[in-house]
Structure 1
Amino acid sequence: MNRRLGISIYPEHSTVERDKAYIKRAAECGFERVFTCLLSAQKPIDVIREEFSETIGFARNLEMDVILDIAPAVFSGLGISYDDLSFFAELGASGIRLDLGFDGLRESQFTYNQYDLDIEINMSNNTNYVNNIFSHNPKETKLLGCHNFYPQRFTGLDFDFFIACSQRFKELGLRTAAFVSSDAATIGPWDINDGLCTLEEHRELPITTQAKHLWATNLIDDVIIGNAYASDDELAALGALNRYVLEFEVEVEAGVSAVERTIMFDEPHIRRGDISSYMIRSTPSRTKYKAEQFPVRPVESHTCGDVMIGNDNFGKYKGELQLILKTMPIDERKNLVARVVDYERFLIPYIGAWNTLAFKEKTK
């Protein structure tokens, strides 16, 4: 399933023009969807219709999907019948997200709505909720899953719980989504905003690392920035991510040669299938660059996150790239060329046999 990026907007706490400018910047960076919220909407229905329609229409014209977050209370608050989703279609939405569910049958019936709206359901509960919906024979192509975000510090999902919840949805073949949090953003649906991420362990991480982690699990398709407004730099950095290859941010060592840089950053890397518990090996470069020189440089460590390349003393293994997995004795036949940044080393175990990986130099 293709992987997408999304942003969130909160019209109740901003202006139409500011939201449209943000949507435009995100679209230019390759974002494909917008999350917006009716849960906190307090304005009269006519004002909501006017403001949301303009913003949603602007996003749809940029070929972005727009999902409206709602709950049963929204239906009653706006005087909308459960049997008539025309209001959301009139706003121009691609679909609705049910923050709180119904009885399974109603969700299934929603998927057959005449307006072809997607029905996105809450993934952050490890119950048989989604299985109950499937027992009522929904139109599966119109059913999506999306985790919650958590504005209050220390209330985000535990990782193991997140995995269990997400697996339920992936095993059913549904498109899935989760939220990451921007350091620059200050707006959310409520007055508490300690960041708007799904996983608690993501709250202090760079936004790109959060996204890499979600995609590395192979359980999340869409990564959405939960708070608004992310900075231009954050939007650009997320847009530039490889969505299908785990790319580690590294700090390059002094004295690295041009050919070592070429191997590290320009050559494809695939972990060999005969895996070692001590290192990830990428071997094609030792053949391609066997005629090159790799002068020996002193090395002081072989620890997790070290990126090594075999030097002139390494015989047939000269030019081979290795990513160290755990501390091992120093081998002077290998040059240290870079180190994975501390906050991304936890991602290294996601590289299994025959997995592709890449490296990107840290710029700040």
Structure 2
Amino acid sequence: MFNNSLGFAVYVSTFEQQKPILEKLTGSNAYVFTSFHIQEEFNNSYTLKAKQMCSWLSKKGFAIMGDVSPKTLEQFGHDSILDFAQHMGLSALRLDYGFDKEEIIKAYDKFSIIINASVEDSSIVEVVSPKQEVFAMHNFYPRPETGLDSEQFDSINQGYKKKGGKVLAFIPGDDVKRGPLYEGLPTLEKHRYISPYEAYLDLAINYKIDGICVADVRLSNRQLELIQSYISKGVISIPTQLTLEHEYLYDTVFTIRLDSPKSVKRLQESREYSCSGKTVQPNNCIFRETGSITMDNKLYGRYSGEIQILKTDLSKDEKVNVIGVVDEKYKNILKCIKNGAKIKFIAG
């Protein structure tokens, strides 16, 4: 079900708004996450609408992960969480507050259960893993300043991964935020105000998260395309502004040299490709700020034509031309570019 795949959180109250983007993923076996115990969504028609939503999603081929609590069973009139799951056509259950460890372990005998990674001790993995694969999903955090910090997040994840569990987490959307705060719904606090694409890459590359889910109501087409491109091709698209003379570099796939230092990422194929048999004359030899894209000129001899992406500020050098810059809105991507990665520049 997972493997750096992209999922979506859906809500009964906003489902009609979310249908257009979900339609695009029909038949893709993508997964969706929904909570059946959001108090503010409860009304006289909630139970019927929730059933209709799950029916639509099932017919479109989505795997539905349902977040449930004892409150859910009361609302839907079920005595058993397993009966509820079967009635709603769910693929997996995430048991939230109100279920003790014994109940979770018992449920694992008959159904795929997703542990609440943010609050449940990872020791449960050792108990249930002989029965089936274990998934641990983090919470998302609507209130600013309450999302997890990096060290906390990584520590929790390592506990699960060392015991064979798979970890899932949330990123915010950018098109329509979910109320009542409309401040994004990230797992990691540092992702609250960056683009979903950057947040996705950070989780997939730096934290090696198995499943990543958009928690807000809608994701823009631009962000969806960027994420799906990475998922399908394994190439990091970097929105940039290249000088007119160097626009021929757009959409060409390059490899980051394995021996690149932390401060600059060297493009392995660039010396041969960029020169195209022409001498690179000194031009625009200015201060090189973080995110600059540079090309060595003829004064660097055999290095002439080499392209680099700067991850730190460097002083100007008469032997180095600045030929472009990473789009300011996407500079967090620099933290995701590892040695050996495949990248391409795209028009910002």
Fold match, TM over 0.5? yes
Equivalences for residues 1-364 of structure 1 within 5 A? 2-11=3-12, 13-14=13-14, 17-27=16-26, 32-40=30-38, 42-43=42-43, 50-82=48-80, 85-100=82-97, 102-113=99-110, 117-125=111-119, 129-141=121-133, 143-187=134-178, 191-242=180-231, 244-252=234-242, 254-258=243-247, 261-262=248-249, 265-272=251-258, 274-288=259-273, 290-293=275-278, 294-362=280-348
Look up the equivalent residue of 1:308 and give its one-letter code: T
Indicate the larger mover: 325-334 or 32-41. Answer: 325-334
Q: Is the 8 A contact 2:281 2:297 kept in 1?
A: yes
- CA–CA separation in structure 1 for the residues paired with 2:305 and 2:231: 25
Q: Could you tell me which amino acid in structure 1 is paired with residue 264 of structure 2?
A: M
CA contact (8 A) 2:176 2:217 kept: yes
Are the structure 2 counterparts of residues 250 and 266 from structure 1 closer, same or farther at C-alpha, using a change threshold of 3 Å?
same
Shift of 1:149: 0.8
Cα distance in 1 for partners of 2:222, 2:275 equals: 39
Distance 1:250 1:332 in 2: 23
Q: 1:247 to 1:133 in 2, by over 3 A?
A: same
> CA separation of 1:275/1:229 partners in 2, compared to 1, >3 Å: closer, same or farther?
closer
What displacement does 1:92 show?
A: 1.1
How far, CA to CA, are the matches of 2:85 and 2:211 in structure 1? 22
Aligned AA (1:194): E
Figure out how many residues of one structure are paired with residues of the other and give that number: 343
Inter-partner Cα distance in structure 2 for 1:305 and 1:38: 44
CA contact (8 A) 1:108 1:138 kept: no
CA distance in structure 1 between the aligned counterparts of 2:275 and 2:223, rounded to whole angstroms: 39
SS of the equivalent of 1:266 reads coil
Superposed displacement of residue 242, structure 1: 4.4
Unaligned runs of 5+ in 1: none
The 8 Å contact of residues 69 and 97 in structure 1, kept in 2 or not, is answered as yes
* Structure 1 Cα separation of the partners of residues 136 and 338 of structure 2: 27
**Cα offsets for 1:146-193 (capped at 9, x unmatched):** 1111111221111221121222223333332211212332435xx444
- Structure 1 residue 290 displacement after superposition: 4.9
Question: Secondary structure at 1:257's aligned position in 2?
Answer: helix
Contact 1:112–1:138 under 8 Å retained in 2: no
Q: Which amino acid aligns with 1:175?
A: K
1:321 positional shift: 1.6
Q: Residues 249 and 172 (structure 1 numbering): CA distance in 2 closer, same or farther, change over 3 Å?
A: farther
The alignment partner of 2:7 has SS state of strand
What are the ranges of 5 or more consecutive residues in structure 2 without an aligned counterpart? none
- How far the C-alpha of 1:22 sits from its partner, in A, is 4.4
With structure 2 as the length reference, what TM-score do the two structures score? Answer: 0.85
CA 1:211–1:164: 2 relative to 1, 3 Å: same
| CA displacement at 1:138 relative to structure 2 | 4.9
Post-superposition offset of 1:52: 2.9
1:134 maps to a residue whose letter is E
Secondary structure of 1:314 counterpart = helix
Q: SS where residue 57 of structure 1 aligns?
A: helix
Instruction: Provide the secondary structure at the position in 1 that maps to 2:309.
Output: strand
User: Cα RMSD between the aligned structures?
Assistant: 2.9
Which residue identity does 1:250 align to in structure 2?
T
Q: Could you say if the C-alpha distance between residues 137 and 23 of structure 1 is closer, same or farther in structure 2, counting changes exceeding 3 Å?
A: closer
Identity %, equivalent residues: 22
Deviations 1:306-336 (A, max 9, x none): 1112223332212222112323332222221
CA distance 1:101–1:61, shift in 2 (3 Å): same
Instruction: Report the secondary structure of 2:42's partner residue.
Output: coil
Kindly provide the amino acid, as one letter, of the partner of residue 61 in structure 2: E
